[in-house]
Each structure stands twice: as structure tokens, then as C-alpha cells.
Amino acid sequence: MTALGNEGYVVVEGGSVTTPAGFRAGGLHCGLKKTERHDLGVIVCDVPAQAAGVYTLNQFQAAPLAVTKESIGAEGKLQVMLVNSGNANACTGKQGEDDARAMRAAAARAFGVAEHYVGVTSTGVIGELLPMEKVLSGIERLPAEVSSEGGDDFCQAILTTDLVKKEVCVRLNVNGRPVHIAGAAKGSGMIHPNMATMLGFMTTDADIESSVLQGLLNEVTDSTFNMITVDGDTSTNDMVVAMASGLAGSGRLTPEHADWGSFRAAFAYVAEYLAKAIARDGEGATKLIEVTVAGAASREAARAIAKTVIGSSLVKSACFGADANWGRIIAAVGRAGHPVQTETVDIRLGDIVTLQQSRPVRFDEDQAAAYLKGDFVQIHIDLHMGEETATAWGCDLTYDYVRINAAYRT
């Protein structure tokens, strides 16, 4: 466990979505993937948990999203969150909707809960019907695989082209009692702001009302999950779901509570950690790129410019090639759709100044190339127009990205 930070929380080494009180998880292979890797997973809470969700803005939304929205909408609670990988159950018509509801019903039976306490989500290939015999058989076997130690199996079950699992857990005190917030996520391709091909799951044992949790999730998503991009594509299945068991025994938490600031900071840390892990694990990626825009006239402008730069194929390619081509960065700033003062822009690559007051600055090309060859690249842009700042995350564009996506279905 790390030392207590300034924000009042600590990172729990080895923590997972099952660390918060009341949560268990697990995963197994039911036959959706060609390999023996897990492809069906679940998070289970001992009690109906207060729940919140955010979803992709793609107009073609996969059937499971409608089912999960319906479940959360009934009482604002979830007790079981079921997920499969290897098949997205998207663009599958009425049969896909029926299959998603059948998964919800089967999970409700398997875990002995009401159907509206079950959320369902899927990830994988679009446009193929689920082999429901395999899925339903797997759901029947899931309860035996669920435990307080099952966080890792759950993480493995949600991966598709991901190379690594993504999980984090923090602890803070509320009313003097320990409260945990944890998260797990998947995603490495079709990643773009306003939800990407990503699934995120956050658990906490805080006692927090569903409507308050929803507001917090909306707020934090805007500055974390909605500020990452890998390839500019927004998927059909993406969602982030948060569940709060209330079993920490720390009392009801509201925005007016004295410990709300610490809780919000810890919640935001978990979301940002997962978002950056997704960006770092972009398909074929060799480095994480962070773009910070300062001095913007509005938060909207800062975010739009940061996302435009991080999403530029030319910027991403230059980072892959370790080419300090700041011209690609300034071009992206200028096309982001927000007015800029074209005579006042500064650009830095790490600590290396390349542009000052929109004029080129002589810099050591070899030093810049060496910096860009690292696995973490920071691009700083100062517009000198106001006080607003935003940060976005992405990755480089590599040969392997094309190779992976050229043969995704095969």
C-alpha cells in the first residue's frame, strides 16, 4: 500500500474489484473465444448495490446496453454484472435483444436475484449472433467460480485484443472508517472520446445514493474516459458501470459531506488510472501520449483541442517515429473547431520547447528524438487565451495497429 497522498487516499497494491466490502467476482471459458482464455465473467454483490452507468454515444448501441439501462432504471440498483467477451451482440436485431434478456434471466436464476438486479454487457465481434447454448451453460457454471479472490479471473474474462489486464484499488477514510473504491476495465482499439470500445467496472463499499453516484460518474467520465483516444472510432458496446454496496459502515456520503472531496478525488483517480491504462494498451502501441492544453478561453475549448491533437494520425505517427514535428501539433490545434490566437501558442515536448508565441525555437533534434523514443510522451500546449486546462491521453500509431485490425475477425 502506498503512503497517504495529499488527496486523502492510498493505492491498495494487489487490490481488485472484490476488495470493497460485499463484492465477489469470477470468470470462466464458455467457448466464445477460439482459445481457452476466459470469455465469461461476473461481479456479484452480497446486497443490491446502488448503481450508475454511462454509455456509448454511437447511434448503433448493442442490445446489452438497453438491458442494463432498463435494469438500473428500475430501482437504481444492481447486484450482478455479467459480461462476455468474444462476441459484441451488436447489430443483431431482435434476436440479439432476446439473447441479452435471456442472459439476464439466466444470471438472475443462477445467483438467486431479481432480474432487474442484473446488468449485462458484451464485447467482441459486431454482427454475429451469440452461441446461446454455450453462453447459458457458462452462466450456470459461473456461481461455482465466484469468490472474493476472483478479481483476476474477471479481468481475464473481459479482454479481447488487450495485452494486459487493467485494475486498480484505493482506500480512504469516511467518518473515520476505511472505504474502498476499485475498478477494472478492458479496451485497446476503437477507442475515442464519448466512450470507446471499452468496458469499465467500478465498485465501492461507500454508502452513496444512486442519483449521487450517477452525477459523480457523469462528471468524472467527462475528464477521464471521454478524454482518451486510440484510433478515432467509437464502438457500439461501451459502458462504464459503478456499484456501491454501502457495506463499509461509514454512513451516507453526499456532496455536502466533509469527506466528499477526498471521495471524489479517489473516485476520479480510479477512473483516470483505468482510462490511461486503456490508452497505453492501444492496439500495437509502444507508448502512452499525454496532451495538456493550458491557457484556453473555456473548458470546452481546452478539451476539444486536446482531443483533436491526441487523435491526430499524423501526431500519433510522428510520436511512433520519434519525429519532433511540431507542425503536425499546431495544425491539429488550428482545426479543432475553437478560435485560437495564432500569434500566442507555445508547444513543448516534455521539457523541450519547440514553439514560443507561435514562432519556432531552435532545439536539439537528437535530444527531442531520444525523448520521443520513450514509452511516455507529454505534449504541452499553452494558448495564452484564458485560465482553462484539459488533458487527454492516447497512444502512437504503429505498423502493428494495421496488422491487428486487418485480421480482427480471423
User: Percent of the chain scored above 70 by pLDDT?
Assistant: 91
Quick one: 137 exposed, middle or buried, by C-beta within 10 A (0-12, 13-18, 19+)?
middle
Same domain for 149 and 202, yes or no, is: yes
Residue 188 located in a structural domain: yes
How far apart are the two ends of the chain, measured CA to CA in Å? 42
Q: Is residue 174 part of a domain?
A: yes
Average pLDDT of the chain is 90
Any domain includes 4: no
CA distance 28 to 139: 9
Percent of the chain with pLDDT over 90: 75
Task: Give 219-273 pLDDT, tens digit per residue.
Answer: 999 899 888 875 555 567 788 999 999 999 999 999 999 999 999 999 999 999 9
Q: How confident is the model at residue 407 (pLDDT cuts 50, 70, 90)?
A: low
How many domains, in total, are found in the chain? 2
User: Do 107 and 125 reside in the same domain of the chain?
Assistant: yes
Domain boundary among 280, 315, 340: 280
- The reported pLDDT for the residue numbered 371 is 97
The answer on 293 and 248 residing in a single domain is no
376 contact partners, CB below 8 Å, separation of at least 6: 287, 288, 290
pLDDT value at 76 more than 50: yes
**pLDDT at position 190, please?**
43
Same-domain pairing of 363 and 250: no
pLDDT tens per residue, range 309-362: 998 989 999 999 999 999 999 999 999 999 999 999 999 999 999 999 999 999
Residue 258 shares a structural domain with residue 315? no
Strands (E) located in 273-369: 288-296, 346-349, 352-356, 359-360
The answer on 269 and 350 residing in a single domain is no
> What pTM did the predictor assign?
0.86
Which domain covers residue 318, as residue numbers? Answer: 288-406
- Higher pLDDT, residue 133 or 36: 133
The catalytic residues are: 197
Q: pLDDT-derived band of residue 4, with 50, 70 and 90 as boundaries? A: very low
CB 178 within 8 A of CB 4: no
Asked if residue 162 has pLDDT above 80, the reply is no
Residue 193, pLDDT above cutoff 70: no
In a domain, 2, yes or no: no
Which H, E and C letters describe 52-102, residue by residue? EEEECCCCCCCHHHHHHHHHHHHHCEEEEEEEEEEECCCCCHHHHHHHHHH
Which residues are registered as beta bridge partners of 169?
182
Domain edge (last residue) among 248, 280, 312: 280
68 contacts: CB under 8 Å, gap ≥ 6: 53, 119, 120, 121, 239, 241
* Per-residue confidence (pLDDT) for residue 82, from 0 to 100: 98
Q: Indicate whether 3 belongs to any domain.
A: no
318 and 248 housed in the same domain: no
Identify the CATH number of the domain in which residue 34 sits. 3.60.70.12
pLDDT at 194: 44
Domain CATH number, residue 295? 3.10.20.340
Whether the per-residue pLDDT at 217 is higher than 90: the answer is: yes
Both 13 and 159 in one domain: the answer is: yes
Q: 269 and 338, same structural domain?
A: no
Taking the C-alpha atoms of residue 125 and residue 197, their distance in angstroms, rounded to an integer, is 11
Residues 313 and 173 in one domain: no
Q: Looking at the structure, do residues 271 and 318 belong to the same domain, yes or no?
A: no
Asked whether residue 1 carries a pLDDT value surpassing 60, the answer given is: no
Cα separation, 193 vs 277, in Å, equals 15
* pLDDT of 209 strictly over 90: yes
Of 280, 296, 313, which closes a domain?
A: 280
User: Taking the alpha carbons of 223, 224, 226, 227 in that order, is the dihedral positive or negative?
Assistant: positive
Domain co-membership, 317 together with 275: no
Q: CA 115, 245, 56, 197 torsion: positive or negative?
A: negative
